[in-house]
Amino acid sequence: MSVTDTLIRAIGLQNERQPEAAATLFHEVLGADTHNAAALYSLTVIAMHAGDSPQALALSARGVEHNPQFAPLRYVHGAVLQALDRKEEALQSFDAALALQPDYVEALLNSGVLLRNMFRHADALERFNRVVAIDPNHVTALGNFGILLTEFKQSEQAIAAFERLLALAPDYDYAPGLLFYERMHICDWRGFDELTQRITEDVRAGKRSCKSLAFMSASDQAADHLLAAKIFAAHYAPAKNSALWNGERYRHRKIRLAYVSPDFREHPVGHLMAGVFERHDKNRFENIAISLGIDDQSRLRARMVAAFDHFIDARAMGSEQVARLMREMEVDIAVDLGGYTSDTRTEIFAHRPAPVQVNYLGYPGTMGTPYHDYIIADRHTIPPEHQAFYTERVAYLPDTYLPTDNSVQIAERTPTRAECGLPDTGIVFCSFSHDYKISPPVFDVWMRLLAQVPGSVLWLVSRGEVAQRNLRVAAEARGVDASRLVFAGRVPRVENHLARYRQADLFLDTHPYNAHTTAADALMAGLPVLTYMGGSFPSRVAGSLLHAIGLPELATQSLAAYEALALRLTREPALLADLKTRLQANLVTHPLFDTEAMSGHLEAIYIAMWRRSELAGVHDALSGAPWRGTIL
C-alpha cells in the first residue's frame, strides 16, 4: 500500500472513531514520510482527544516546524496551546493559520473564543462577524456573535442574530433564553408570555434553554431556579476530577479570607462591600482580594485596594492558575462574590482551592454546584422552608444579607424638579432598576397607577434610547401619554445621584427580579420602597431590606396587593408622609445601614464556618442536615 493509500485508510478509521487503529497507520505514514503534514495534524487531534496534551503539543510543534505553510497545523497547534491556557501563543498560531487561509472558519471561531476570554471583545466580535459573512447559517458563530453584540449594547442586532439562531437551531444551547434576556434589556416584550412559558417548561424538562441568571427575570419560583442552576453548572463549570485542597489542615494565626470577584470597581457589588472590606478585623482575618475584572482607576477601586492585606490582579491569569495560587496561599475561606454574573469564573471554585467555599451577594440564588459549601442569606430571602431549593448549606445573617456602606454622604443640595426633568407638581413614582427587570405585568400595574393618579409621572433610569422608545410605545398602547414617562440621565457621582431620590414620592419595585442595590439607595435617601415578595431569592430582596429598616408593611405578598397599596399611599398623603418620617428616623436606629454591625455578623459567620471545617472537615459537614439558625 502506498503512503497515500495508507493515509486515506487512516483518515477513514479516524472518521469512523477508531483512533488507535488510525494512529497506527498514521505512524506508518510517518515512517515513510517523516514530517507528513496530514499525519502529524491527525495524530495531534487524536492525542488531544485522549487528553495527552504533552504529546499533542510535541506533534503539532514538529508539524509547524517542518510544514510552516500548512494552515491546519498552525490551527491545531493553536488549539493545543489554547487548551493549555497559553493564550498569547495560541493567538499567534491562529493568526498564522489565518494569514495562510483567511477564510479558515475553525481558526476564526477558536480565536474568537480566545479573544473573548482575553477580554478583547471588539477583536472577538470581528472574528465571529467574519464567520457569519462566510456562512450566514453558522449557528456557533451566530450564537457567539449575538452574545458579543450584547457586550457592546447592540441589542437590536443581537436580537436579530438570536432570532436567526433559534430559527436555524431551535435546540441550540440557551438560545431561547438569550433571545428572551436581550429583548428584556430593551423592553421589547414581543412573545413574552410564550417565551417565558417555553423557557420554564424546558428548564423543568432538564434542557439547556436559559442561563440561570437570565431565568431570574422569567420566574419567581425557587424550585425552578434550582433546576436552571444545576443545568447550567453541570454544563458550564462541572466539578473537577481532582481537587486542589484535599483535607489538609492549615495552622494560621489569622483566618485567610479571600474574596473573588470581577467587581472591585465602580459596580453595585463594589459599592455594597467597600465599607465591609474596610471594617474587617485585621487581628483575626488576613484579607485577600482576587480581582478578575478591569482596573477602572476609580476612587472606589482605590478604597478597596487599600482595604485588603493582599490585592491580586488576576485578570490575565487562567482559572486553574488562580485556583493554584489560592491553594498555595493556603486560603481558609474563599468567597465567590460573582456567581454566574459577567466576567466571573466559576471554574476557579470547581478546582476546590479552599476548605470552605461560599456563594455570596453578587448572584442572588443557588449556584447548583457541589463545591459551593454555603450561601449567605437571611430568613426573608431564603425562608427555612426554601432551603431544599439550594445546593449550598444556608448561613443566615440576623437582619438582611445585603451589606451597605454608611460612609457615603448624600449631596446636601437636592436638584430641583425642573433640573430632574420632572413636572413642578404631582406624584412622582420612581423605579431606577435596570431595564431587564421591568416585566410586562408590573408595567401594566404602573400604567394603571398613572391612569388613576392625575398629574403623576413615572421616573425611570433607562440606559438606552431603544428601551426608552419601547417603553413609551408600551405606555401609549396602555392608554397613557408617553410624556408621563420621565427618564433620568446619568450623573458622575453617586452622592449626587442619591440626592435625586428626594424628589420622588414612592419607589415602585420590579418583579420577579427586585431592585437590590437600587432599593437600598432609595431607602438611604429617605424614599419608601414598595415591593412584591415572590417565591425566589431575587424576588424577595427588597422585602428583606424593608424588614431591616422597620417598614415591613411595604412588602406585599401579591401583585394585586402591591397595586392597591400604591394607590392608597397616593390617595392618603398623611400615610405616605408618616412612612417617610419613620424611614428617616429608622435610618439611624435599624440595622440596614449599620456597616460596622454587618461586618461583625459576616465575621461571625466566617469564624463558624472555619471552626466547623476545622472540627469535621467541610465534606463531612456537608453530609449532615441542612444548617438552620443564625451562626454566632
Taking the C-alpha atoms of residue 471 and residue 604, their distance in angstroms, rounded to an integer, is 45
Q: Contact 516/364 with Cβ under 8 angstroms?
A: yes
Mean pLDDT of 488-494: 90
Instruction: Return the C-alpha cell found at 580.
Output: 417617610
pLDDT of the residue at 616: 64
Taking the C-alpha atoms of residue 513 and residue 436, their distance in angstroms, rounded to an integer, is 9
pLDDT band at 1 (very low <50, low <70, confident <90, very high): low
Is the pLDDT score of 629 beyond 50? no
Annotate 343-396 with DSSP letters as a single string: T--THHHHT--SSEEEE-SSS-S----SS--EEEE-TTTS-GGGGGG-SSEEEE
Is the pLDDT score of 618 beyond 70? no
Is the pLDDT score of 571 beyond 60? yes
Is the pLDDT score of 321 beyond 60? yes
Instruction: Return the C-alpha cell found at 480.
Output: 397613557
Q: What is the pLDDT of residues 572-595, one digit of tens each?
A: 999 999 999 999 999 999 999 999
Is the pLDDT score of 551 beyond 80? yes
Q: What is the pLDDT of residues 16-49, one digit of tens each?
A: 999 999 999 999 989 999 999 999 999 999 999 9
Going from N- to C-terminal start, the domains of the chain cover 173-241, 255-405+600-622, 428-592
233, 238, 244, 249: CA torsion to nearest 10: 50
Element (H, E) at 570: helix 559-571
CATH superfamily of 428-592: Glycogen Phosphorylase B; (3.40.50.2000)
Is the pLDDT score of 631 beyond 50? no
Q: What is the pLDDT of residues 147-186, one digit of tens each?
A: 999 999 999 999 999 999 999 999 999 999 999 999 999 9
Is the pLDDT score of 407 beyond 50? yes
Q: What is the pLDDT of residues 240-278, one digit of tens each?
A: 999 999 999 999 999 999 999 999 999 999 999 999 999
Collapsing DSSP states into helix, strand and coil, what is residue 204?
helix
Q: What is the pLDDT of residues 57-93, one digit of tens each?
A: 999 999 999 999 999 999 999 999 999 989 999 999 9
Rg (CA), the chain: 27
Element (H, E) at 515: none
pLDDT of the residue at 342: 92
Mean pLDDT of 283-291: 98
pLDDT of the residue at 627: 35
Angle 550-271-462 (CA atoms, 0-180°, nearest 5)? 85
pLDDT band at 116 (very low <50, low <70, confident <90, very high): very high
Q: What is the pLDDT of residues 276-285, one digit of tens each?
A: 999 999 999 9
pLDDT of the residue at 160: 97
Is the pLDDT score of 8 beyond 50? yes
Q: What is the pLDDT of residues 209-249, one digit of tens each?
A: 999 999 999 999 999 999 999 999 999 999 999 999 999 99
Residue whose entry in the numeric block shows the C-alpha cell 456602606:
405
> Which backbone phi and psi does 630 adopt, to 5 degrees?
-70, 140
pLDDT band at 632 (very low <50, low <70, confident <90, very high): very low
Is the pLDDT score of 336 beyond 50? yes
Taking the C-alpha atoms of residue 616 and residue 607, their distance in angstroms, rounded to an integer, is 14
Instruction: Return the C-alpha cell found at 337.
Output: 462574590
pLDDT of the residue at 124: 97
pLDDT of the residue at 2: 87
Mean pLDDT of 401-419: 96
Q: What is the CATH number of domain 255-405+600-622?
A: 3.40.50.11380
255-405+600-622 matches 428-592 in fold: yes
In this structure, are strands 485-487 and 457-460 parallel, antiparallel, or unpaired?
A: parallel
pLDDT band at 625 (very low <50, low <70, confident <90, very high): very low
Collapsing DSSP states into helix, strand and coil, what is residue 313?
strand
Is the pLDDT score of 621 beyond 80? no
Q: At what angle do helices 71-83 and 87-100 cross, to 10 degrees?
A: 160
Taking the C-alpha atoms of residue 460 and residue 150, their distance in angstroms, rounded to an integer, is 21
- Within 13 A of 289's CA, how many CA atoms are on the CB side? 30
Q: Which amino acid is at 116?
A: R
Give the list of residues 6+ apart from residue 499 with CB closer than 8 angstroms, or none.
410, 411, 412, 413, 414, 415, 525
